[in-house]
Structure formats: structure tokens, C-alpha cells
Structure 1
């Protein structure tokens, strides 16, 4: 497929949040997160859409006095919170039940480098301060390798994912403006708790990356966000979400994917 036929970020993202779960209003609450390594995230939710926050992540620092936020309660006590900030975003998935947190930092690089996605991501295990911690700490997971799922984000957005290894996944569009398009991109999977997986991808063809929380338990729902560059070269933050339909999985009898 020729590059000029490849759809832009704005084209594929339009309407991809149609079947997303409703936003949660965290007005008046506070979130205090301690990273297992050096760092922290502190958030005061001012109202239903604005928050005062600061984050220190692996040497990078961010803050906003009254920045936008996006929150979804994926399960009872389990939340997805995204903090967009220009060329970067900080996304937290956490459980108030266990106190466990995964923090994802997404950053648009200054320039495109050959063979490297323009949008980079880093991942941090963390915990809520002031909450009794229980359960296993979040960590990278191989649980999705070999699985094949279909994702319905709207009446006109239908995608298939095949989780190839701990580093890559393959996708194709079955319905929508990208119908017939597909690729294999870099991906990362972490397990938050039983049935809940952080899934992130970084595309090569266009400057975009995403953060999703897949609920592969009874709910079979996914909630996510995108960060990328639009056709004018400006940073764009978009929301996504929908239903998951598992198609099946394979198991490798001997040699395993990376």
C-alpha cells in the first residue's frame, strides 16, 4: 500500500470513542502516587474535567495548574486517568481495591528517526499512598501472546488484533476508513490484576501511540487514549473505547516468541 493512501491520525480517530464507557467525575478528590523507582504523581481534581497535577517520571517532570483530565471507572474501584499536556501525556491505571498503579509516560520525539516510532513510551509500577497495598505488583505480561481479538469502537470502527510477541502486535481494519490497512507495530503489555491488561502500541508509519486498559474478564471492554501529530504537525490527544470480541488463541508447543 502506498504511503499516500495511508490514513492520517485525524481520519482514523474520528468517532473511535463512540462506544467508550462514560467518563467519571473525580471532583474534589486527590490522587497521590509513589513510583516503585524514583518518582511520584500528585493530582488534585478541581472539577469534572480539570486537575492541578505534577509528575516526576524517570528524570522528566510535568505539571499543570488547571489542566484537562479524562477519567473512566473501568470496574468498581479500578480507574483509567489520562493527563494530556502538549507533546506529552501521563496515563494512570489503578485499583483503589489493591493500591496498585501502572503509570505510562508518552512523549512525541523532536524528530523522526528511521526505524523508530516518533512517539515514545515508558512504563512505571507504582502504588497509591494512604491505601493498604495487596496483590501482586504490576509487571510486563506475556499472557496475551497468541490471542486474536476483534475490537468494535463504533458502528464504523472494527479492528482485529493478533498479539505476536512481548514486543509486537499485528492489526488490520475490518470496517472503517482504514479498511484494508494493517501493519505490525511495537507494543507493550502489563498486567494490573486478573483480567486487566495495560496494552500500548507505537506506530511506525504515522506519529501516534496509544494507551489502553483491556478488561478481558466478564466486561470485555477497552478504554484508551491516543497521542500523536495531526496533518498540521500539532499535538493531538484523542479518546477511544469499545467492546472486545475474542476470536481464539494459539499455544506454541516448543520454541516461544520473544
Structure 2
């Protein structure tokens, strides 16, 4: 655990949590989902492992750089089926059954949701914190996709409020969505701690919004890059958060 000095003595009253790769292992679930989809592609298309891997890598890149506009008349499901269609065509070429992209998408989606859960340890942590602090879930992402994750994880009971970035004009790290959170909690920024795995959204957003402290969950043991906002605290797992809160009393 690493720390940064300069904190005041104001008591913490609320904790804002990110969801993906903070409370749940989204990356791990996504990896398993991609593997299952790879097996479907290999069985259906009869291609070599490298080509199958390239198709899946192509899909992941499209997902990473995805820009979704709800007003376009297409659902997020439609957009992501299209990602698979393009990934297969761009990598393998040739003809394939149009329904294959749809099969790939729904296998990937259902597999990922099936694997998302609060571990027993995180479940107990939230239950303990809930008795002492107000808790708010603040997650970026397309509204329906993130709501499906919340529902799959069954974590609503732990939070005083759930704020999905895709349901608002701006997402993390914009100050407006943090201001909304403080208003919903009926607290000031300095009453709150922001906990998340992303320096660019969680930590930068919390820091700029003026929270009491930012806590970076750095499971990969990566370094803070030059130019990145520096978290007040760094922990390898959210389960270490009570140690930080003890310092902030």
C-alpha cells in the first residue's frame, strides 16, 4: 500500500465505488467469455488458432473504441453484433452464415454476465461498510450494459444510490457527475472517498471534484505514469480499503 500526504482531518461519511475491476473482475470474466466464443468460431469456421485469435482481438479493439449513440435507432446489442460481423469479415474474409455474428455476440455477452459476481469477501466488505458509511456506485458505460451488470451481480442492496454514466450528459472524470453524486448523498465532496481502478476516470475525476481522498485499486501493480493524476492511496485489492479508512478517521 502506498500513500500520499496532505490529507485533512475531516471525517469520511461516504464512499463512491467504481464497479468494473474494482468490485467485480470484469476483465477476467471477459477473458473467459472470449475463450468460449473462440471455441464456437473454431468449430464453425474451421480456421487456425491464430486467425481465430485475430478475430477476437479485432472485436476487443472495436469494443474498446466503441462510440454508441442511443439516438441512432440501433440498440447496443445491434452495435456489438455488428462488431463481430466486421471482425470476422475483416480478418477471415469469405462467406459465413449471417447468424454466426449474432451467436458470437450473445455467447460472449451471456458468458460474461454469468461470471460476474461479488466475491464472498467483497460481499462481506460492502455489508460491513454499509453499516458505517453511505455507499454510492458510480460506473461509466452504456446505460443498458451497466444496468445488466448491476442486476447480474445483485449488488443494489449495498448502495444508497447507483449512478450509471451512460444515463447522464457526462461521465467520469467530468465534475458534473460527481456533483450529482454528492447531491444524491446530501454531502459535500470532502465528506467522500472515491475508490476505483482507473487513474484517468476514477482518480482524476475524484481528485478534480475535491473528494476527501482517492484510492486507486491497482491489482496489476502498475506505476503511476508521468502526467497522470496521483492517487492519495494505492491498494492492490479493494479488500484493503478498511486500512485506508482507519487512517482517515
User: Please, what TM-score do these two structures have when normalized by structure 2?
Assistant: 0.26
Which of the pair has the greater relative contact order for Cα pairs under 8 Å at 6+ separation? 2
Bigger Rg over Cα: 2
**Structure 1 length as normaliser, TM-score?**
0.25
More helix by share: 2
